[in-house]
């Protein structure tokens, strides 16, 4: 299926099946999605888009639709930090938008965070933040889907090689749970002299560069598992590496058959690694909106309050 975005930004107003009598049209509540819809990473953006559309359609077919209708505003950031800041600035200025889902890389997320914070606009981040989760501050939230024991899982595989520089948060997290003799760290482009000695490799960076790393590892005798961010399990990674990652950091929950079937109907394709996390992020935001609506006007501050309650963020 050919996916093409006709403009940098677009608005999707998703109507449910129920009818509303004239004069009783409920007000709109806007949410945003910022992801790459053009350029190399566009398939990942659409992966998230169709999932968020699913969540919005479900909400607009629910009882909450009697009080308000959800409207989705989606902007492209091309997976570039500078573009992410521009998109965040544009979406923050629309005061009718009470929450945003985005971005799809740690670099773009961290680049845009100060803009959301300055506008008090809640951000649901559908990807794991490995290096700087403390930088999320008071405005950004991780959906309640990510789980902490990945360092133990990594070490349980046997001897591991991790591409991470000295003093990084990743190193600290791993060494807090793994014996030092079970993991070797290399600051890329440093490379292990004998890759065949490892059962698992962990790449915390971009999936395109990660594909280069895996190809080099395989060429030098590495036969183990390759772990990384969600993008390591994407078709984009596979198109460069010739295979997908063995495990992608980020979430323990897997989509059920009903989600997969509905996603296929909407998109005409299989859900990729960004689909379900984006769906859960959207559902988390939508739940906070519903709770805010039950109290009166839906505002950014009320949505943020309920996100704090629902995600367990202090």
Asked if residue 16 belongs to a domain, the reply is yes
Q: Which residue has the higher pLDDT, 134 or 28?
A: 28
Q: Domain holding 156: CATH number?
A: 3.40.50.2300
Helix 106-118 × helix 81-92 angle, to 10°: 30
- What gap in Å lies between CA 87 and CA 8, rounded to an integer? 10
Asked if residue 2 belongs to a domain, the reply is no
Asked if residue 3 belongs to a domain, the reply is no
The answer, yes or no, to whether residue 106 has pLDDT greater than 60, is yes
The answer, yes or no, to whether residue 289 has pLDDT greater than 90, is yes
Write the CB contacts of 77 (distance below 8 Å, at least 6 apart in sequence): 34, 35, 36, 83, 84, 86, 87, 102, 103, 108, 112
Tokens of 83: 């573009």
Using one digit for the tens of pLDDT, what is the confidence trace for 214-250?
Answer: 999 999 999 999 999 999 999 999 999 999 999 887 6
Same domain, 88 and 46: yes
Asked if residue 103 belongs to a domain, the reply is yes
- Mark which of 219, 248, 277 sits at the end of a domain: 248
The answer, yes or no, to whether residue 131 has pLDDT greater than 50, is yes
Q: What is the mean pLDDT of residues 273-280?
A: 94
Same domain, 111 and 36: yes
Same domain, 73 and 142: yes
Closest CA to 99 of 53, 31, 35, 9: 31
Q: How confident is the model at residue 280 (pLDDT cuts 50, 70, 90)?
A: very high
Same domain, 142 and 262: yes
Same domain, 45 and 33: yes
What is the average pLDDT value for the chain, to the nearest integer?
89
Q: Which domain holds residue 105?
A: 9-146+254-311
Per-residue pLDDT at 15: 39
- Mark which of 200, 219, 248 sits at the end of a domain: 248
Virtual CA dihedral for 4, 74, 101, 276, nearest 10 degrees?
A: -30
- Percent residues over pLDDT 70 in the chain: 88
Q: What is the mean pLDDT of residues 280-299?
A: 95
Same domain, 137 and 285: yes
H/E run at residue 310: helix 300-311
Per-residue pLDDT at 195: 97
Same domain, 139 and 271: yes
Q: How confident is the model at residue 23 (pLDDT cuts 50, 70, 90)?
A: low
Same domain, 20 and 72: yes
Q: How confident is the model at residue 128 (pLDDT cuts 50, 70, 90)?
A: confident
Radius of gyration of the chain (CA): 20
The answer, yes or no, to whether residue 295 has pLDDT greater than 90, is yes
Asked if residue 4 belongs to a domain, the reply is no
Distances, alpha carbon 188 to alpha carbons 163, 185, 220, 282, in Å: 6, 9, 16, 35
Per-residue pLDDT at 132: 64
Which runs of consecutive H residues, i.e. helices, occur in 189-298?
207-219, 235-241, 257-267, 275-293
- Mark which of 197, 216, 248 sits at the end of a domain: 248
Same domain, 78 and 216: no
Same domain, 178 and 269: no
Residue entry with tokens 């109290």: 295
Same domain, 91 and 73: yes
Domain count, the chain: 2
Q: What is the mean pLDDT of residues 25-42?
A: 95
- The reported pTM is 0.88
- What gap in Å lies between CA 231 and CA 110, rounded to an integer? 17
Q: Picking from 111-115, 166-170, 239-243, which range would have the lowest pLDDT averaged per residue?
A: 166-170
Per-residue pLDDT at 266: 93
Per-residue pLDDT at 24: 67
Same domain, 261 and 139: yes
Q: How confident is the model at residue 133 (pLDDT cuts 50, 70, 90)?
A: low
Q: What is the mean pLDDT of residues 192-218?
A: 96
């Amino acid at each position: 299926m050919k996916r093409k975005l006709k403009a940098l930004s677009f608005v999707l107003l998703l109507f449910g099946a129920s009818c509303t009598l004239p004069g009783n049209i409920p007000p709109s509540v806007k949410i945003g999605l910022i992801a790459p819809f053009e350029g190399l990473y566009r398939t990942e953006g659409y992966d998230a888009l169709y999932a968020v559309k699913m969540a919005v359609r479900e909400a607009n077919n629910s009882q909450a639709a009697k009080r308000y209708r959800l409207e989705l505003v989606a902007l492209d950031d091309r997976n570039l930090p500078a573009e992410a800041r521009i998109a965040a600035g544009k979406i923050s200025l629309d005061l009718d938008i009470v929450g945003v889902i985005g971005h799809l890389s740690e670099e773009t997320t961290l680049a845009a965070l100060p803009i959301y914070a300055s506008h008090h606009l809640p951000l649901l981040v559908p990807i794991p933040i490995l290096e700087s989760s403390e930088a999320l501050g008071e405005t950004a939230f991780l959906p309640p889907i990510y789980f902490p024991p990945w360092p133990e899982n990594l070490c349980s595989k046997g001897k591991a090689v991790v591409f991470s520089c000295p003093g990084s948060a990743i190193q600290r997290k791993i060494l807090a749970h793994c014996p030092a003799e079970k993991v070797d760290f290399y600051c890329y482009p440093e490379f292990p002299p004998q890759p065949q000695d490892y059962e698992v490799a962990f790449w915390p960076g971009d999936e395109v560069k990660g594909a280069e790393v895996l190809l080099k590892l395989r060429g030098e005798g590495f036969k183990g598992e390759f772990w990384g961010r969600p993008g390591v399990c994407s078709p984009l990674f596979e198109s460069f590496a010739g295979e997908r990652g063995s495990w992608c950091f980020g979430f323990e929950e897997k989509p059920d058959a009903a989600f997969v079937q509905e996603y296929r109907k909407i998109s005409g394709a299989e859900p990729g690694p960004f689909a379900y996390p984006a769906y859960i992020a959207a559902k988390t935001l939508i739940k906070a909106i519903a709770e805010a609506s039950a109290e009166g006007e839906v505002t950014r501050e009320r949505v943020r309050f309920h996100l704090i309650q629902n995600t367990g963020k202090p």
